[in-house]
């Protein structure tokens, strides 16, 4: 089970989030080099963020994100100080990771 560090900050009505997901992000090429099997590749395929159960940001991702990828994004119109931004990812092998951070 992987983790995501989530750091949201509210300023001028906009919540800015920095998130760091712990994941190897193995590409097909690297997998083939390491184990000889292209199918050993594993990377985050979908990641999303929500506030109080409402999705505010989401992305479908590929093998070409950096190892332990960092995401920065912003949203407005939802979330106040003290609310939690929750994030979830799913990877190619079906593992999941999650994390949350309080809006400061």
Partner 1 sequence: MQRRKFLSLVGLGAVAMSAAPVALSATDWRADKPDVWTAKNVDDAIKAMYGSKAIAEGGVTVTTPDVAANGGAVPVNVKSDLDAKTVAIFQDANPESAVIVFDVNEYGIVNYDVKMKLKSVGEPITVTCVVETKDGKLHSGKRTLDVALGGCEG
Cα dihedral 51, 53, 58, 63 sign: positive
Q: Give the end-to-end CA distance of the chain in Å, rounded to a whole number.
A: 26
Q: Least CB distance from residue 14 to partner 1, whole Å? A: 7
Tokens at residue 68, please?
A: 């332990």
Q: Least CB distance from residue 104 to partner 1, whole Å? A: 18
Question: CA nearest 2: which of 17, 18, 29, 20?
Answer: 20
Binding mask 1-40 for partner 1 (x = CB under 8 A): -------------x----------x-xxxx--xx------
In this chain, which of 3, 5, 10, 73 binds partner 1, going by CB under 8 A?
73
Residue 31, φ and ψ in degrees, nearest 5: -60, -40
In this chain, which of 8, 88, 101, 103 binds partner 1, going by CB under 8 A?
88
Residue 38 gets which letter from DSSP? G
Verify binding: residue 62, partner 1, rule CB under 8 A.
yes
Q: Least CB distance from residue 85 to partner 1, whole Å? A: 11
């Amino acid at each position: 089970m992987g983790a995501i560090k989530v750091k949201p900050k509210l300023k001028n009505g906009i919540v800015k989030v920095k998130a760091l997901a712990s994941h190897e992000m193995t590409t097909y090429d690297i997998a083939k080099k390491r184990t000889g099997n292209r199918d050993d590749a594993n990377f985050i395929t979908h990641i999303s963020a929500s506030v109080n159960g409402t999705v505010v940001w989401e992305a479908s991702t590929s093998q070409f994100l950096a190892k332990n990828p960092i995401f920065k994004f912003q949203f407005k119109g939802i979330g106040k100080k003290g609310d939690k931004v929750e994030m979830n990812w799913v990877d190619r092998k079906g593992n999941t990771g999650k994390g949350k951070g309080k809006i400061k």
